[in-house]
Structure 1
Amino acid sequence: MLKTVVTLFRGKAYEAEERLADRHALAILDQQMRDAALAVERAKKTLALASAQDKAEERKLDATRAQIAEIETRAVAALKAGREDLARKAAENIADLESDATAAEKARALFSVEIKSLERHLRDQSARLAELERGRRIARAAEAVRVARRGRLEEAPCGQSTLSEAEATLARLRERQAEACAAEAALDDLDARDKAQDLNAVLADAGFGPPVKPRAADVLARLKEKAGAA
């Protein structure tokens, strides 16, 4: 029973970890790429340091060889002059310098191998980092599209509106604006009609054209006419 509970707990923890990783995948990717970029920078600095040390060994080797050549020239001159004692001291010095030169050559050989390895590693890491950067841009664009379409595929987070909801709000707003415009137009039309009727009434009262609405004098005349006929 205990083993089952432990297994269940581990399964739930794994699911929670997976959900957290999925929810924050872009943030995790960003941090991982920052870490990778720092590693590439460290590799560049290591390569630069190795190259500088190799150059230093090269200069040291060149100086040692030049010193050996100079001492050999002087030692030969000493032998020609019968100063074997000086030539022997020169030979001892040359032997020490040749040991230094051999050590420098070995160091340069090691640096050469290390530098080539670092250069291959740096090219590989830089290429992979560039590919990751392209992939991240694509992932960000895809995530933006997914968020924009979230209302169609999944429920939006609490408090966050979807694109469809925004479109519905805009449609309602436009409908209300259209109704308001129609009402304003109707009021303007009524005002225009009232003004026209008032003007027609003034003109009719002045004797121009038929009356706009029944007048008491006209009604009285009609009544008198009917009474006379009776």
Structure 2
Amino acid sequence: MLKLFRILARGAAARAEEEFLDRNALLILDQQVRETRASLERSRRALAAAVAADQAEGRKLSDIENRAIDLETRTVAALSAGREDLAREAAQAIAELESERDAIRQARSRYEAEVARIRTVVAEATRRQTELERGRRTAAAAEAVRRMRVNPGPNELATLTEAEATLKRLRDLQQEAADTEAALADIQPGADIAARMEREGFGPSSKTTADAVLDRLRRRAEAA
């Protein structure tokens, strides 16, 4: 029995952990995205530092090669002048420069291969990070819709309901005002018969017509 209780306890703990992960999956994803973004940024900075160091080694190699060439020219001149002592001393310096040059060339060759490998890794990580962040945005939108459908928050539901009720009240008020105006027009004393008699030509017109304007202007012209 004790063994059975232990199994049940582990099962309950596993289920509780799964439910916790499900409820907080988006929060966990957000933190993981932040951590991978920070890791990728550190990788980029490390790559930039490696490239800068390699460029510095390249400048150093160029300086050594130029110094060796200059010494060779001077050594030839010293030999032509019979200064064997200076030529030997210069030759020793040239040998040391060439040894350092060869060592730097070998180191740079290995370094360039490693930098190329790191570039490939960082480029792939950048692509995956971009996809991850795009997926996170989509997941956040989908999760918001899922929660609204499955378990909408009381505040969100109340806000939507209140907005719909307000819209209905406004429409009802507007319709009521329109109905009232129409009813008032219908119950004005003599309004309907006066309009009918005006249309029949009995009495002055309540609307200004082109003929009336023309008659008024013609009388003004005759008076002038």
TM-score, structure 2 as length reference = 0.68
Greater RCO between the two (CA within 8 Å, min separation 6)? 2
**2:200 corresponding residue in structure 1:** none
Following superposition of structure 1 onto structure 2, how do residues 101-180 of structure 1 map, counting pairs within 5 Å?
A: 101-148=101-148, 150=149, 154-156=150-152, 162=157, 166-167=160-161, 170=164, 174=168
Amino acid across the alignment from 1:70: D
CA gap 1:87/1:144 in 2 versus in 1, 3 angstroms: same
Match of 1:62 in 2: 62
Per-residue CA deviation, residues 92-137 of structure 1 (Å, 9 max, x unaligned), is 1111111111121122112211211121111111111111121112
TM-aligned CA deviation for residue 79 of structure 1: 1.6
Unaligned residue ranges in structure 1 (runs of 5+): 197-230
The CA deviation string for residues 63-94 of structure 1, in whole angstroms up to 9 with x for no partner, is 00001111111111122222222221111111
**1:67-106 equivalences in 2 (<5 Å):** 67-106=67-106
The answer as to whether partners of 1:61 and 1:104 remain within 8 angstroms in 2 is yes
Shift in alpha-carbon separation, 1:155–1:71, aligned structure 2, 3 A: closer
Structure 1 residue 10 displacement after superposition? 2.5
1:30 and 2:30 aligned? yes
Could you tell me which residue of structure 2 aligns to residue 201 of structure 1?
A: none
1:39 aligns with 2:39: yes
Structure 2 residue aligned with 1:214? none
- Aligned letter for 2:107? A
Residues 2 and 77 of structure 1: is their aligned pair in 2 closer, same or farther, counting only changes over 3 Å? Answer: farther
Instruction: Note the alpha carbon deviations across 1:154-185, whole angstroms, 9 max, x for none.
Output: 4556x55648x95499469948x969x98xx9
Assess, with a 3 A threshold, how the Cα gap between structure 1 residues 52 and 168 changes in structure 2: closer, same or farther: closer
**Cα distance, 1:8 vs structure 2:** 2.8
Alpha-carbon deviation of 1:61? 0.2
Give 1:21's aligned residue.
Answer: 21
Q: Distance in 1 between matches of 2:141 and 2:17?
A: 25
Residue of structure 2 equivalent to 1:225? none
Distance in 2 between the 1:43 and 1:9 partners? 43
Equivalent position SS for 1:82? coil
Percent identity of paired positions between Structure 1 and Structure 2: 42
Distance change (3 Å), C-alpha of 1:156 and 1:75: same
Work out whether residues 76 and 87 of structure 1, in 8 Å CA contact, stay in contact via their aligned partners in 2: yes
Instruction: Figure out how many residues of one structure are paired with residues of the other and give that number.
Output: 184
User: What CA RMSD, in Å, does the superposition of the two structures yield over aligned residues?
Assistant: 3.3
1:57, 1:107 within 8 Å by CA — same for their partners in 2? no
Distance 1:170 1:116, change over 3 A: same
Distance (whole Å) between structure 2 residues aligned to residue 173 and residue 76 of structure 1? 99
Q: TM-score scaled by structure 1?
A: 0.67
CA distance 1:155–1:93, change in 2 (3 Å):
closer
Name structure 2 gaps, 5 residues minimum.
Answer: 190-224
Q: 1:215 maps to which residue? A: none
